[in-house]
Amino acid sequence: MPRKPAEQTVQPDAILKAAATVFYRKGYHGATMAEIAAEVHLTAGSLYHHFPSKEDLLCAVLDHGLTQITRSVRAVVNSADPPAEKLRAIVQIHVLSEIEHVNIAAAVIFEGRALLEMPGVRDQYVRQRDTLEGLYRQVVEEGIAAGDFRPVDVGIFVKTLFGALNWVSLWYREGGRLTGREIADEIAGTFLAALRPLPADDTPR
Amino acid sequence: MPRKPAEQTVQPDAILKAAATVFYRKGYHGATMAEIAAEVHLTAGSLYHHFPSKEDLLCAVLDHGLTQITRSVRAVVNSADPPAEKLRAIVQIHVLSEIEHVNIAAAVIFEGRALLEMPGVRDQYVRQRDTLEGLYRQVVEEGIAAGDFRPVDVGIFVKTLFGALNWVSLWYREGGRLTGREIADEIAGTFLAALRPLPADDTPR
DNA sequence: CAAATAATCAAATGTAAATTTGATTATAGA
DNA sequence: TCTATAATCAAATTTACATTTGATTATTTG
For B190, which of A114, A189, A194 is closest by C-beta distance?
A194
CA distance B147 to B145: 5
Residue of A nearest to B189 (CA): A194
Q: For residue B163, give the nearest of A113, A153, A167 by CB distance.
A: A167
> How open is the CA angle B150-B155-B158, to the nearest 5 degrees?
75
Look at chain A and count its residues. Answer: 205
| Contact: A193, B150; criterion CB under 8 Å | yes
Class of domain A58-198: mainly alpha
Lowest mean pLDDT across A53-57, A115-119, B41-45, B180-184: A115-119
**The whole model's pTM is what?**
0.91
Whether A180 contacts A93, CB under 8 Å: no
List chain A residues with CB under 8 Å of B98: none
In chain A, what residues touch B189 (CB-CB under 8 Å)?
152
d(CA B91, CA B78) in angstroms, rounded, equals 15
pLDDT reported for residue B123: 83
pLDDT at A203: 60
* Chain B residue with Cα closest to A112: B170
Q: Which residues fall within 8 angstroms of residue B79, CB to CB, at 6 or more apart? A: B86
The whole-number average pLDDT for the span A159-167 is 95
Query: B3 beta carbon < 7 A from strand C?
Result: yes
Angle between helices B54-77 and B12-26 (to 10 degrees): 100
Contact flag A27-B30 (C-beta cutoff 8 Å): yes
Q: How many residues does chain B have?
A: 205
Check if the beta carbon of residue A139 is closer than 8 Å to that of residue A90: yes
What are the residue ranges spanned by the domains of chain A? 58-198
Which residues, 6+ apart, have CB-to-CB distance to B155 below 8 Å? A177, B137
Q: Name the closest nucleotide to A34, judged by C1' and CA.
A: D17
d(CA B42, CA B194): 49
Average pLDDT over residues A28-54: 94
Give chain A residues 30-89 with Cβ within 7 A of strand D: 31-34, 44-45, 48, 53-55
Q: What is the pLDDT of residues A61-106, one digit of tens each?
A: 989 988 999 999 999 999 999 999 999 999 999 999 988 776 666 6
Q: Which residues contact A62 (CB under 8 A, 6 or more apart)?
A: A107, A108, A111, A112, A115, A125, A128
Q: List the B122 CA – C9 C1' distance (angstroms).
A: 37
Quick one: residue A60, left, alpha or beta (phi over 0 = left, psi -120 to 50 = alpha)? alpha
CB B159 within 8 A of CB A168: yes
Rounded CA-CA distance A93/A81 in Å is 15
pLDDT digits (tens, 9 = 90+) for A122-136: 888 889 999 999 999
Within B 59-78, residues with CB less than 7 Å from strand C: none
| Residue A111 Cα, gap to closest chain B Cα (Å) | 10
Q: How far apart are the first and last CA of chain B?
A: 92
Which residues of chain B are within 8 Å of residue A28 when distances are taken between CB atoms? 27, 29-30
Please state, for a pLDDT cut of 70, what percent of chain A lies above it: 85
pLDDT (tens, 9 = 90+) of chain B, 205 residues, equals 444 455 556 688 899 999 999 988 888 888 999 999 999 999 999 999 999 999 999 989 988 988 999 999 999 999 999 999 999 999 999 999 988 766 666 666 666 666 767 767 788 888 999 999 999 999 999 999 999 999 999 999 999 999 999 999 889 999 999 999 999 999 999 999 999 998 776 665 5
Distance CA A172, CA A163 (A): 14
Question: What is the secondary structure of B89-139 as a DSSP string?
Answer: HHHHHHHHHHHSSTHHHHHHHHHHHHHTTSHHHHHHHHHHHHHHHHHHHHH
Across the interface, do A167 and B186 touch by the CB < 8 Å criterion?
no
Instruction: Give the distance, in angstroms, between residue B146 CA and nucleotide C18 C1'.
Output: 54
Within 8 A by CB and 6+ apart from B42, the residues are: B10
- Rounded CA–C1' distance between A54 and D17, in angstroms: 12
Angstrom distance (rounded) from CA A104 to CA A106 = 5
- Partner-chain residue, chosen from A152, A163, A183, that has the shortest CB–CB distance to B167: A163
How many of the other CB atoms lie within 10 Å of CB of B181?
Answer: 12
Cα–Cα distance measured from residue A106 to residue A21, given in angstroms and rounded to the nearest whole number: 9
Considering only CB atoms, B160 lies closest to which of A28, A177, A187, namely: A187
Q: Give mean pLDDT, residues A15-22.
A: 93
Closest residue (Cα, C1') to D4: B2
Partners of B150 on chain A (C-beta within 8 Å) are 193
Tally Cβ neighbours within 10 Å of residue B75: 11
Is there a contact between A190 and B160 if contact means CB atoms under 8 Å apart?
yes
* CA quadruple B41, B46, B49, B52: dihedral sign: positive
Distance from CA of B3 to the nearest CA of A (A): 43
